[in-house]
Structure 1
C-alpha cells in the first residue's frame, strides 16, 4: 500500500535496528525472535505485518512536529509490541505448527523479553511516573477484554471497541508521540477513537479474507457473524462452506460488511483530531471492501445474464 512506499526507508531502518537488537537475545530465543521479525517485515515478500502497527508514530510526526529520533524509537518499540502480541495470540490459538514445534515455553519467554525491549525504548523518553504507563495498562486491559470476550460470544461487527480491542496495544506508539508533544488528554482520546475506527475496519477486512480458515471458531470472525445474521432461520448448528457462500451470493453478506465499514468511515470523518494519514489508511480499506461487494454483485448478475435465472439458481444449489 501507499504508506509502505512512502516510508520505505524508515521501515527498512526500524526493522534493521530491531534485527540488530534481537541478535543480542539469549541464544535460545534469538532464532525464534529473528524468524518472527522476518515473517512480519512488510518489505519482505509475504511480510504479514499491517503498517498501522508500527507507522503510527510517523503519521503523527507530520501533525505534531515530533523529533525523528523519538518516532524511530517508538516505532521500533511498536514492532516489539506487535511481535509480542502476535506470539501471545498464536499461543492462545494453539499455535500454527511453527510455534508448537519451537515450544510454548520458549514462545512465552520471547514475549516477555520483547516487553522488556519495549520498556527500554520508551524509558529513554518517559520517566517511571509518566502517564505513558497508564496508557499502556489501559491498552493491555482492552486487549485482555477482547481476547476473553471472543471466547464467550460472537464478535459483533458493529462494536468498534470489540473489533479494535485485540490490536489495542499498538496505540501506545501514538500516545507516546502525543504525550511527548504536550498534547492534551482530550486530543489523545480523539486520536484513540480514530485509531479504533481504523482498526475496526481493518479487522472486518481481515475477517472477510480469513473466513474459511476461521470456520472452526466462527464466533471469533465478525464476517461469519454477519453470515449467521443473513442466514437466520435457514441454517441450524455450525456453519459450513456452502452456507457461507450462499450468504455471500444470495443474501448480500459482503454488501452488509461493506456498509458497516462505510459507517465506520463516516464516523472517522466526524473525529476532528483524526490524523490525515489514518483517514487515508482507513478509506483505502473501506474502498477495497466496497469493491469486493461490487464484484460479488457483478458475478451474480453475470451468471444471470449468461445462463438465465434457472441456471443461476442451479449454480447456487451447487455451493
Structure 2
C-alpha cells in the first residue's frame, strides 16, 4: 500500500480541493458529485485503487524540477477528468436500461466536471500550448476505443489498444514534461504509461470476468480463454468453461505471462519513473499470485472430483 502511504499528504490535499470545487455545483448535482468523489478517494475505506490517474504527475515530477503546485493542479484536473469519463462510460453502458432523467443528470454533472478539468490545466497551459495537441490525440484514442468496444474482441496481447480507452490519463505526464522542457521524453513516457495501463486493464478484466461474462462486455481475459481453448472469437462462454480454462488449461498463468512481458518492455524504456515501474509490477505480481493459487488449488483436487469442484469453487 505504499502507493497511498508515500503520498497521503498529496492525496488528502487534492481530493479535498476537488471536493471544495464540486460542492459549488448547483444542488443536487453537488451532492451527486461529492458522492462519486468519495467512492474514488483511495483514502476512504473501499475507495478506488486507480492510483495512476492522480499519482502519475507526482511520479514524473521526481525526475524533474517542476513545482509541487503544478502537480497538485494536474492531479486535481485528472480527478475531474476521471469522474467525467466514468460518467460517460456508465451512461453509454447503461443507456438501454437507464431512465432518461438519470442519464440527463449524469451527463450534466459530467460537463461541469470537464469544465473544472479545463480550468486546472489552463492555469499552466494556454490555448497555444502543445499540450492540447496531445489532448486531441488522446481524446481520439478514447473515442475509437469506446466505439469499437464490443464490436471486436479485446486483444490481451495488444498493449496499445488495451490502453487507449485510458489515454487521457497520459496528459498529466505530458504536462510535467513540457513544463520541465523535456519534450524529447514524451514519446517514451507515452509508451511506458500505455504498458502500465494495459496491465491495469488485464488485471481489471481478470477481476471482472464473471460480470462481463453475464453482460457480454468486452474482456481481454475472456478473449484469452477463447484463444487458449481454440474457440471461435464469437463463441459464447459459460462459467464452467472459464473455470476449466483457469484450473485445467493454465489461462490465468498465460495472463500472468502477458503482464510480465509488458513489465519487461517497460523496464527497457529509458528515463521512466521508477514508481510507474513499481506500480506496474505490483499489478503483474497480483495476477501471478492468483495464477499460483489456481495452480495450487488444482494440485490439491483429486481428478475424480474435479467436476464437483468446478461447480462449487468461487468465481475467482
TM-score range, shorter chain: over 0.9
User: Structure 1 pair 233/193, CA: closer, same or farther in 2 (3 Å)?
Assistant: closer
The residue aligned with 1:139 is 138
Q: Is the aligned partner of 1:193 residue 2:187?
A: no
The residue aligned with 1:226 is 224
Counterpart CA distance in 2 for 1:250 and 1:59 is: 40
Contact map agreement 2:188 2:269 (CA 8 A) in 1 = yes
Counterpart CA distance in 1 for 2:16 and 2:113 is: 16
> Does the residue aligned with 2:189 lie in a helix, a strand or coil?
helix
CA apart distance, 1:233: 4.7
Contact map agreement 1:194 1:271 (CA 8 A) in 2 = yes
> Does the residue aligned with 2:25 lie in a helix, a strand or coil?
coil
> Does the residue aligned with 1:193 lie in a helix, a strand or coil?
helix
**5+ residue gaps in structure 1?**
none
Q: Aligned match of 1:296 in 287, 294, 310?
A: 294
The residue aligned with 2:17 is 17
CA apart distance, 1:31: 1.2
Contact map agreement 1:87 1:108 (CA 8 A) in 2 = yes
193-202 or 233-242, larger mean C-alpha shift: 233-242
CA apart distance, 1:103: 1.1
- Which structure 2 residues correspond to residues 222-301 of structure 1 after superposition, within 5 A? 222-233=220-231, 237-301=235-299
The residue aligned with 1:211 is 209
Counterpart CA distance in 1 for 2:228 and 2:111 is: 42
Counterpart CA distance in 1 for 2:64 and 2:101 is: 42
User: Structure 1 pair 262/118, CA: closer, same or farther in 2 (3 Å)?
Assistant: same
Q: Is the aligned partner of 1:47 residue 2:41?
A: no
Contact map agreement 1:55 1:75 (CA 8 A) in 2 = yes
Paired positions, count: 313
Contact map agreement 2:36 2:83 (CA 8 A) in 1 = yes
**5+ residue gaps in structure 2?**
none
Counterpart CA distance in 2 for 1:314 and 1:289 is: 25
Runs of 4+ in structure 1 off by over 6 angstroms are none
The residue aligned with 2:176 is 177
The residue aligned with 2:69 is 69
Counterpart CA distance in 1 for 2:270 and 2:152 is: 33
User: Structure 1 pair 72/303, CA: closer, same or farther in 2 (3 Å)?
Assistant: same
> Does the residue aligned with 2:39 lie in a helix, a strand or coil?
helix
Contact map agreement 2:153 2:233 (CA 8 A) in 1 = no
CA apart distance, 1:218: 3.9
CA apart distance, 1:258: 0.4
Contact map agreement 1:171 1:192 (CA 8 A) in 2 = yes
Contact map agreement 1:218 1:225 (CA 8 A) in 2 = no
User: Structure 1 pair 46/238, CA: closer, same or farther in 2 (3 Å)?
Assistant: same
TM-score (norm 1): 0.93
What is the root-mean-square deviation of aligned Cα atoms in Å?
Answer: 2.1
Counterpart CA distance in 2 for 1:23 and 1:180 is: 30
- Which structure 2 residues correspond to residues 19-38 of structure 1 after superposition, within 5 A? 19-38=19-38
1:270-317 superposed Cα distances (whole Å, 9 cap, x missing partner): 11122111000001111111111111111111114xxxx333466457
TM-score (norm 2): 0.93
CA apart distance, 1:101: 9.0
The residue aligned with 1:310 is 304
The residue aligned with 2:57 is 57
The residue aligned with 1:116 is 115
1:223-252 superposed Cα distances (whole Å, 9 cap, x missing partner): 000111122259984111111111111111
The residue aligned with 1:85 is 85
